[in-house]
Amino acid sequence: MVTIKNTPHHRSAPPTPPDTDWLAKYLRLGLIAGAVIIADQITKFIILRDVGLHTTIPVIPGFFQITHVQNPGGAFGFLANQSALVRGILFLAVSTVAVGLVAWFYHKTPPTHRWLAAGFALIFGGAIGNLIDRVRLGRVVDFLDFFIGRWHWPAFNVADSAITVGITIFVIHVIGGRMPD
């Protein structure tokens, strides 16, 4: 008969190897960002294929409609009136830097901060989704159109939604004092 000593070493399971934590962390990044990119690109493909430019399909009268618009500028049409070359260079550079920064923040986020990491993964996926449009089309396809009466929110897409949710998670962590050291 083998007797195991009742020491602290034998009472708990061995710690998870760091490689497993790293793998799980980046698998979550791939799953979350990948889901955002796939959903974004599929919905944009459907809009490009089935809804004519500037065509509107009412969904909830007086509140929500699908409206196919293409935004050559940044958020809310920023720099939309600049030349295509200026916009292209500027937005590709800014998007690439943003994707790199978000990837760095994700890398630096400890495994204990899963919601924060998920927020960064949403931002990462959304940024990649819109970057794909900029590289492929030179503009971003938007189609989610919310309004009340004459008050319109600028049209947006799945990638924009993911970015917004990710930034909201980040801000909640900052305001709530829950940022990692």
Does the annotation count 19 as an active-site position? no
For residues 123-139, average pLDDT:
93
Instruction: Determine the pLDDT at residue 138.
Output: 86
Pick the range with the lowest mean pLDDT from 11-25, 112-126, 165-179: 11-25
Torsion of CA 15, 18, 21, 26, to 10 degrees: 180
Where are the chain's structural domains?
39-51+66-175
Catalytic residue among 40, 133, 145, 160: 160
Query: Which pLDDT tens digit goes with each residue over 51-93?
Result: 999 999 999 999 999 999 998 876 656 666 777 777 778 878 8
Instruction: Determine the pLDDT at residue 89.
Output: 81
Of residues 122, 112, 132, 129, the one with CA closest to residue 179: 112
pTM: 0.82
Catalytic residue among 50, 142, 145, 181: 142
Does the annotation count 160 as an active-site position? yes
